[in-house]
Amino acid sequence: MVTKSKPIMVTGGAGFIGYQICEILAASNQQVVIFDLRPTKEMENIRAHRGDITNLYDLINCVKEYDVEGIISAAAILPPQDIVNPYKTFQVNVGGLANVLEITRIFDLKRLIFISTAGVYGKTYDLKPISENTPMHLEIYYERTKMMGEQLCKTYIEKYNLDVGIVRFPFVVIAASTIAHLSQRLPSLVMRPYLVMPPLLWVEGTIPA
């Protein structure tokens, strides 16, 4: 008899990237709980829980109800809405992540993955590869909140020895007749260590120089 692993909670799981991650995990027979203010319909291996990431007790209730073993933090307010209500953006993007980190610490969860953005590097005007050592040029509020989130993660890693991964998703790529978002492919790459799968990355819709 095959025993299924405990569920992984995905905050912001009804959003674009969050739902892509949920589908990939569910397709690999991983139990998933979507934690969102507007959860989608449930399907095989995917449960939905309505909750507010800025409310610590909503997160506690979800972790307890589903016996969650790990969290993927994808909830965020994106541009251009980030500057419409900057206080709300801070509450969600930074305060919400602080809640998730605290839940991970309190319940001693197995792993947390924080979805950040490659936007923290700012605009680039050459074709040089970007590495983790590339200088950062934060330009918009959303990027600044993501960098604050990364610093929070690093603090919890150093002080509480949490298993936290930070993923910086890349940008939109527009081809001649199609709009392809590399972030549609990156969730599968990010989740492969969770699923014990070999690394794999492919890009579609390349643009000739």
Which residues carry out catalysis? 142
Indicate the helix (H) or strand (E) that contains 103. helix 96-106
**Rounded CA separation 55/10 (Å):** 15
Angle between helix 56-66 and 96-106 (nearest 10)? 40
Under a CB-based contact definition with an 8 Å cutoff, are residues 73 and 117 in contact?
no
As beta bridge partners, residue 19 has: none
User: How far, CA to CA in Å, does 13 sit from each of 24, 82, 124, 134, 174?
Assistant: 12, 19, 30, 30, 25
